């Protein structure tokens, strides 16, 4: 779920950019290290970024205006690690802002935080945890994709609530409000993305 261009006040836009910066900077360092050791990863990561972008243009059934790229980011974070995938996610968000007017430049920091960083770290953590606990693969995949989606949506609601606290209920009231409003699209979306990820992985394994 993208926050549109200019929606956050300047202080918040800057604040979230500052919050994202260390993750992206460390990710870029890891990326540079990786490319030095393994030049082939350059083209692979480029293609994965393209894939993540295009995946968000696959419309899921019955959900309008959806955007499915935590799925792509989750995929990538299992393959390349969450740090590098945070960077790839940030690049994808940049292209979405510039080529599709989806998201924005001033909200790039906030969106990167909720989608690229939280998305890839949570998907990766759930994947690892499921693996460690010995959960069935399909269940792990479903949880990783859908929970990281839900986390993104919760963080976005929090970001909006911090910027626009409720006159009566304050920040907590605003969180409830935004969670409620966007639940209509985001909860079904998270579920269908979980299912989609399971189906995709099974197709790929059978290949």
Q: State which of positions 69-128 bind another protein (CB under 8 A).
A: 71, 75, 87-88, 91-92, 94-95, 97-102, 104-106
> What is the maximum span of the chain, computed from C-alpha positions, in angstroms?
55
Distance CA(109)–CA(156), nearest Å, equals 12
Pick between residue 64 and residue 133 the one whose CB is nearest to another protein: 64
CB 52 within 8 A of CB 88: yes
- Find the length of the chain: 207
Rule CB under 8 A: choose which of 58, 129, 131, 139 binds another protein.
Answer: 58
Size of the site for another protein (CB under 8 A): 77
Sole residue written with tokens 């959900």: 63
Among 9, 18, 21, 131, binds another protein (CB under 8 A): 9
Tokens read off for 55: 């995946």
Say how many Å lie between the first and final Cα of the chain, rounded.
Answer: 32
Decide if residue 4 touches another protein (CB under 8 A).
yes
**Which one, 100 or 129, has the nearer CB to another protein?**
100
Site for another protein, residues 161 to 200, rule: CB under 8 A: 164, 166-169, 172-174, 176-178, 181-182, 192, 195-196, 199-200
């Amino acid at each position: 779920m993208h926050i549109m261009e200019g929606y956050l006040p300047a202080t918040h836009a800057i604040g979230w950019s500052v919050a994202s910066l260390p993750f992206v900077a460390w990710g870029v360092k890891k990326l540079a290290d990786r490319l030095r050791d393994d030049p082939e990863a350059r083209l692979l990561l480029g293609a994965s970024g393209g894939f993540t972008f295009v995946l968000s243009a696959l419309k899921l059934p019955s959900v309008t205006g959806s955007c499915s790229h935590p799925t792509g980011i989750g995929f990538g974070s299992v393959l390349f690690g969450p740090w590098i995938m945070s960077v790839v996610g940030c690049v994808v968000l940049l292209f979405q802002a510039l080529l599709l007017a989806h998201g924005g430049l001033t909200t790039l920091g906030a969106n990167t935080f909720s989608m690229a960083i939280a998305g890839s770290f949570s998907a990766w953590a759930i994947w690892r945890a499921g693996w460690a606990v010995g959960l069935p693969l399909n269940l792990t995949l479903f949880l990783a994709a859908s929970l990281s989606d839900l986390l993104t949506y919760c963080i976005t609601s929090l970001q909006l609530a911090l910027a626009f606290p409720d006159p009566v209920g304050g920040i907590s009231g605003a969180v409830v409000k935004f969670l409620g409003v966007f639940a209509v699209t985001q909860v079904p979306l998270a579920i269908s993305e979980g299912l989609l990820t399971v189906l995709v992985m099974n197709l790929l394994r059978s290949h």
